[in-house]
Structure 1
Amino acid sequence: MKRIINHKILFLLSLTLFIKLGYAAPVILVGTTGDYPPLTAKSESDFSGIDIDIIKKFAKDNNLNLKFVPTTWQTLSNDLSSSKFVIAVGGISENPERSKLFYLSNAIESSAKAAMIRCTDKQRFTNFAAIDSESVIVSENRGGTNQDFALKNIKHATIRLVAKNDASIVSLISVPPLADVMFTDDIEISYRHEQNPKLCLAQIPEKFPGSPKIFLFAKTAEGQKLQQLFNEWWVKRH
């Protein structure tokens, strides 16, 4: 009798362990640069921002665990393609190359490229021609759509490429300054101005086309399932 009871106890313990393991929330690796506030930002211990909150809410509602993986704009596409993570979030603009390489989410938000300058230079930069002159230095992070925009549109000013988005910000406000202009999304310029009133949107008449901000999913079976799940979840919320 004792042996039968012991067998029953062992069976129940094994079943409980199986159920727990079987229903454990999967861990999803999410890549983000952490240098594009207010959409993604890196603190000492964690990531924060609008897009970080969105992906966390998605994970919570779908019983998924997230682990954030730091990446850079220059390596983001390669990292996602090589399975360092399965989702990439945080101020990512839709473009043709990304559309070919990855599964895309529905549009999360939309913004347009604009010029960020020191507020003291408002009278200096009153149109695009004033920005695109030989005496001007434009700073952009490598690998992102800010770099693409500058390389496509700047013909005369010097383009200074740096490793991280934050480094471009520092180059504008350092003493002496290392750059005069940074092209980025208008949503970031608004945020940067709130954080540092010395930085302003250049009030120029030229307007540049915007692009949707999206999340990227690896072009794998897992990535496709997550993309479909996310888009269904997103549509229900909006």
Structure 2
Amino acid sequence: MRWTIPAAAAALAMLASGALAQSPSPSRLDDIISRGTLRVGMTGDYRPFTSLNKTTSSFEGFDVDMAQALGQALGVKVEFVPTSWPTMTRDFEAGAFDMAAGGVSITLDRQKKGLFSTALMREGKTPIARCADAARFDSLADIDKPGTKVIVNPGGTNERFARAHIKAAQIEVYPDNVTIFDQIASGHADLMMTDASETRYQQKLHPGVLCAVHPDKPFDFAEKAYWLQRDVALKAFVDQWLHIIRENGSYQATYDKWFN
């Protein structure tokens, strides 16, 4: 078959356009490296994972140290973007940050909108109450009785769990997740059901006052991870980084700093 010059030029143009169409678009991982900044969404109200130091206006906690280590592995700076549990999904969908961190639980609703890294830790919801009353709240049936006041922070998995299981007891929504445990200690609420890691930490902060109720046997199963924008390259990098720091001991060192 003999090609005329115009036909050959047209064929080459078609091949070139096809090659361009098939070339991969830049990933979010590429964007992060190119801009030199990893944007991390944080609520700043969930110790020991994340807390906002109002004096210095800086974030502190386990996931803050982890995010800084991830930024170092990427060779970029880390920018912490304030968010809240009620607005986290909206902010995530708006692209306000590349990933959400700070004690974020894996849920199927969140999975629909992004990707999760490999799990950081496994736990579940369990009660924390005044030590003198802890034996009264061993089971959900013990908790879900008229006269019991269950306190929750708004917009997250704690409130969702309480509303799914509490029908007879009173549920009080308290907006400040930093001082919510003081409400239990002072007797304004009887208990809170939250992640086992948080009950252990708050028990350490309130020795002899607040007690975690069977944190080794929580009511349900949950895992914490980093909620990533839907980018396979970014997830692959974060997962590989997590694998390496678990093997070289730096993950355990960071964990021990904040939890042990």
Aligned positions of 1:150-165 closer than 5 A? 150-165=162-177
Q: Is the 8 A contact 1:30 1:86 kept in 2?
A: yes
> Root-mean-square deviation (CA), in Å?
2.1
Aligned match of 2:242: 234
Distance 1:93 1:192, change over 3 A: same
2:46 maps to 1:36: yes
The one-letter code of the counterpart of 1:194 is K
Q: Is the 8 A contact 1:72 1:164 kept in 2?
A: no
Q: Tell me, in whole angstroms, the C-alpha distance in 2 between the residues paired with 1:39 and 1:63.
A: 23
Aligned match of 1:58: 70
Shift of 1:165: 2.0
Aligned positions of 1:37-186 closer than 5 A? 37-44=47-54, 45=56, 46-174=58-186, 177-186=187-196
Q: Deviations over 1:112-145 (max 9, x none)?
A: 2100101121243344322111101111111111
Q: Is the 8 A contact 1:128 1:206 kept in 2?
A: no
The one-letter code of the counterpart of 1:186 is A
Identity, % of aligned positions: 31
Shift of 1:64: 1.2
Which structure dedicates a bigger proportion of its chain to strand? 1
The one-letter code of the counterpart of 1:29 is R
Q: Tell me, in whole angstroms, the C-alpha distance in 2 between the residues paired with 1:126 and 1:113.
A: 12
Range with bigger deviation, 114-123 or 89-98: 114-123
Task: Find the partner of 1:209 among 214, 217, 220.
Answer: 220
Distance 1:157 1:90, change over 3 A: same
Q: Is the 8 A contact 1:141 1:167 kept in 2?
A: no
Aligned match of 1:8: none
Runs of 4+ that moved beyond 6 A: none
Shift of 1:209: 2.1
Shift of 1:39: 1.3
Q: Is the 8 A contact 1:127 1:203 kept in 2?
A: no
Distance 1:53 1:206, change over 3 A: closer
SS of corresponding position for 2:226: strand
Q: Tell me, in whole angstroms, the C-alpha distance in 1 between the residues paired with 2:204 and 2:216.
A: 23
SS of corresponding position for 1:193: helix
Q: Tell me, in whole angstroms, the C-alpha distance in 2 between the residues paired with 1:81 and 1:89.
A: 15
Q: Tell me, in whole angstroms, the C-alpha distance in 1 between the residues paired with 2:228 and 2:34.
A: 22
Q: Tell me, in whole angstroms, the C-alpha distance in 2 between the residues paired with 1:206 and 1:80.
A: 32
2:220 maps to 1:225: no
Distance 1:62 1:126, change over 3 A: closer
- Structure 2 gaps of 5+ residues are 1-32, 247-260
Distance 1:206 1:37, change over 3 A: closer
Q: Is the 8 A contact 2:126 2:215 kept in 1?
A: no
The one-letter code of the counterpart of 2:220 is P
The one-letter code of the counterpart of 2:227 is L
Q: Is the 8 A contact 1:126 1:204 kept in 2?
A: no
Give TM-score scaled by structure 1 length.
Answer: 0.81
SS of corresponding position for 1:91: coil
Q: Tell me, in whole angstroms, the C-alpha distance in 1 between the residues paired with 2:173 and 2:239.
A: 34
Task: Find the partner of 1:200 among 211, 222, 237.
Answer: 211
SS of corresponding position for 2:201: helix
- Number of equivalenced pairs: 211
The one-letter code of the counterpart of 1:40 is T
Shift of 1:85: 1.4
